[in-house]
Chains A and B, each alone.
Chain A
Amino acid sequence: MNQASQMMTGNLAAAWGARLADVDYVPAFPITPQTEIVETLSKWCAGGELNARFVTLDSEHSMMTAAGAASATGARVFTATSSQGLLHAFEVLYTVAGWRVPFVLVNVSRALASPITLEPDHNDVLAARDSGFLQIHAETCQEVVDSILMAYRIAEDPRVCLPVMVNLDGFVLSFTREPVVLPEPAMVHEFLPPFRPAHLGFKASAPHALGTAVVGGSIYTYFRHQIHLASMNGLAVYDEAAAAFERICGRRYAAIDGYRLDDAEDVLVMTNASASKGKAAVDAAREEGRRVGLLRLRLIRPWPAEAIRDALQGRRAVAVLDQNLAPGQGGILFQEIAACLYHEALRPRALCSFIGGLGGKNLSEGEFRAIFEQTAEAGVRGKGIGPVLLYTEAEHREMQQMQYLAHELKTGR
């Protein structure tokens, strides 16, 4: 067993996930910070390392349609996008989920325009949370490649048959190199059976219609609800896949990832790559005597409510750090955490909402310290806070300088 690791970016790890899954088809469209994934796959398809057809479409909307249609025809499909691209394909996400086609989409998170920017936050991927796609969010480059393999197994399970989105953060994961162990092809072969879907394929001998119109709310209700049931089946299927992956490849990925939770009074909830920094902040806080821990959400859809409840019940206070902002509401994941804790008799005394890391803004040690302090105070008080914006005095002074340049300073022409 060759467990030698090698340095690779999150994007390269994503491409390796597709290659190891032995995909048949890669419809593509470039967008920063995802482009390296499709560049890599185009080279492998051209060079024969990957026996798949690579096609550049005219837009993400077309790309997502082609991905779904190829999957509906019976091919194993991989595709990737980011941010504006994901939103450009938005109606197609819902459409292909309704077709029940099990392909894998990698989203490299990037904040949404306007204002246009390149750096990450999670408003893109979370906008798609109701599309019917399952969602797995990765913290490390290793997790990216492993999650893609798990994603295929979960998506293709007859109890699910839904597309799966694997999310990684732009820049901080997509362009960041770190050691990754690639699973041996034989392991992948054992973990991921060949794709031979019973309900898909267009062939002359068995014509069928897929994605037909329905007239009337009751028919629609039935089919829409089936997507929900399929997604909920994903909870058990995920656990089985995680167990099998651990057995074969030796790495375990539960739906949620607890860090130093055992005796934690206060818990910080995060997702994706910045959770690494959150874990470091937990260590620092513990050295100062704070009993804190971190809960990282890996599986976002289906929502592992029970596991989350088990992890958070009985805590003094829980802080949710949302790297997204729903204008007019606040943090998206805060709402979901709050909803699933409501019925818990031992629910935390305080729920705190923090909004940070928007548009790739650095989550600083000082901000984590502020989070832990304010959360502890809220826990003592028995009353939650937020949404609290993680944005500093110093940053605001810089902002005012730029506003001065943009509006007041007349240089003459």
Chain B
Amino acid sequence: MTWEPHIFKDLHQIPREEHVFPGTPLCAGCGGLESLRLASKVLGSNVVYVNAAGCFTNLAAFPFTPLDASWLYTTMGSAPAGAQGVRDALDVLIAKGRLPKEEDVKVVVLGGDGSTYDMALSSTSGAITRKLDFYYFCYDNEAYGNTGVQLSPATPYGARTATSPCAVRHPAGTMQEKKDIFEIWRAHKPPYIATVSPRYPLDLEEKFARAAQYSGPKLFLAFAACPTGWLFDPAYTPDVAKLAVECGIWPLKEAINGEVVHTYLPKRQPVEHYLKLQGRFRHLFEPTVQTDAIAHIQERVNTYWRDVT
């Protein structure tokens, strides 16, 4: 089945209007910010962002905010519960006539992978089970970034982080396999889940536009190439994001009511092309090439695509 965009077919359709404004304190070349900016162009300004502790906490740092929407910082473990409280209160106030319907706002959770994959999993699971009408935007930079890049459950096999060093006993960095949060979400049967990458902006915009028609949990996993944490020059954020998709490491897909469709079928370059760009994988190539570790990563990718196509 070939996936076709319905709305966004040309880059010139990307709205010029900005909703995440410049001047944030986030790192230059932040792939997460790139995704959020694109997403916000579809989400618009009638939004309240309910933020979990993470890099994006720095977006609204007194006295500045880059958002033309509302913002509520919660905790690392309970942003979806914050979304629950906001959504429920909006519904109640509208029903009781204390808030005009036209003042309603969309509720969007912002969480990094550390929050999304582990600490807020209970809170997220609860919100999905309760069919909360909200968006969940996870900027996945595969580490606890804001604390200085430590191992998170989203850190992939072979990556070096501040707490998964390359050592004699673990020369390939972490042996952990990245947790499959997409499938964990899918097991909850929400109406809409998608992975996105800012290097595929039309795919991203289309998915946010498409999700809007579904009431209930709408979950987005955004690839957040991280120059600071993954140790590459910020100029290469687009290349890293592109190669993640083209090597088959970051599949672009969506699941509408549980049915998974891959929205882009990469030709699947060898994973080395992706790995070599990043300092966090440098130990796989020098001083000696760790053939087994690289083959393992390739094999995981091959297995994934064999199973889904």
Contacts and interface: CB of A to CB of B under 8 A. Distances in A.
A–B touch (CB < 8 A): the answer is yes
Interface of A: 24-25, 27, 51-53, 55, 57-59, 61-75, 77, 91-92, 95, 99, 196, 201-205, 207-215, 219
Contact of B85 (A66, A205, A210, A219): A66
Nearest to A205: B103
The 7 closest A-B pairs by CB, nearest first: A69-B85, A58-B126, A62-B81, A66-B85, A73-B89, A209-B71, A70-B85
Interface string B74-93: 11011111111110111111
A207 B74 contact: no
Contacts of A64: 78
Nearest to A207: B70
A55 B105 contact: no
B99 A69 contact: no
Given A203-B105, A209-B70, A58 B86 contact: no
A213 B81 CA distance: 20
B96 interface: yes
A66 B72 contact: no
A55 B93 contact: no
Contact of A69 (B60, B74, B103, B130): B74
A273 B77 CA distance: 35
27 contacts: A27-B84, A52-B92, A53-B92, A55-B130, A59-B122, A62-B78, A66-B81, A66-B82, A69-B81, A69-B86, A73-B86, A73-B93, A74-B98, A74-B99, A75-B93, A92-B75, A99-B72, A203-B104, A204-B46, A204-B102, A205-B103, A208-B70, A210-B72, A212-B61, A212-B65, A212-B73, A214-B61
Given A52-B92, A75-B92, A207-B45, A202 B84 contact: no
Contacts of B115: none
B131 to A, nearest CB: 11
Contacts of A53: 88, 91-92
Contacts of B57: 213
Contact of B84 (A62, A203, A211, A212): A62
Given A58-B125, A213-B61, A72 B86 contact: yes
Contacts of A69: 50, 72, 74, 81-86, 89
Nearest to A26: B88
A66 B77 CA distance: 12
Interface of B: 45-46, 48, 50, 57-58, 60-62, 65, 67-75, 77-86, 88-93, 96, 98-99, 102-105, 122-123, 125-126, 130
A211 B59 CA distance: 12
A24 B92 contact: yes
B52 to A, nearest CB: 10
Nearest to B65: A209
Contacts of B125: 58
Nearest to A101: B85
A203 B93 CA distance: 11
A92 B102 CA distance: 31
Contacts of A24: 89, 92-93, 96
A72 B99 contact: no
A173 to B, nearest CB: 28
A56 B9 CA distance: 43
Contacts of A55: 84, 88, 130
Contact of A204 (B65, B82, B103, B122): B103
Nearest to B61: A213
B200 to A, nearest CB: 29
A25 B89 contact: yes
Nearest to A92: B75
Contacts of A202: 48, 70, 72, 86, 90, 105
Given A25-B85, A53-B88, A207 B93 contact: no
Given A57-B126, A69-B74, A73-B93, A215 B85 contact: no
Contact of A74 (B89, B123, B130): B89
B84 A204 contact: no
A69 B83 CA distance: 7
B96 A68 contact: no
Nearest to B126: A58
Contact of A58 (B60, B71, B122): B122
A330 to B, nearest CB: 32
B276 to A, nearest CB: 36
Contact of A62 (B58, B68, B88, B126): B126
B90 A219 contact: no
Given A62-B122, A75-B93, A213-B60, A207 B68 contact: yes
Which of B74, B83, B105: most chain A Cβ within 10 A? Answer: B74
B17 to A, nearest CB: 15
Given A74-B99, A209-B65, A68 B85 contact: yes
A58 B121 CA distance: 10
A53 B83 CA distance: 15
B227 to A, nearest CB: 22
B6 to A, nearest CB: 26
A75 B87 CA distance: 11
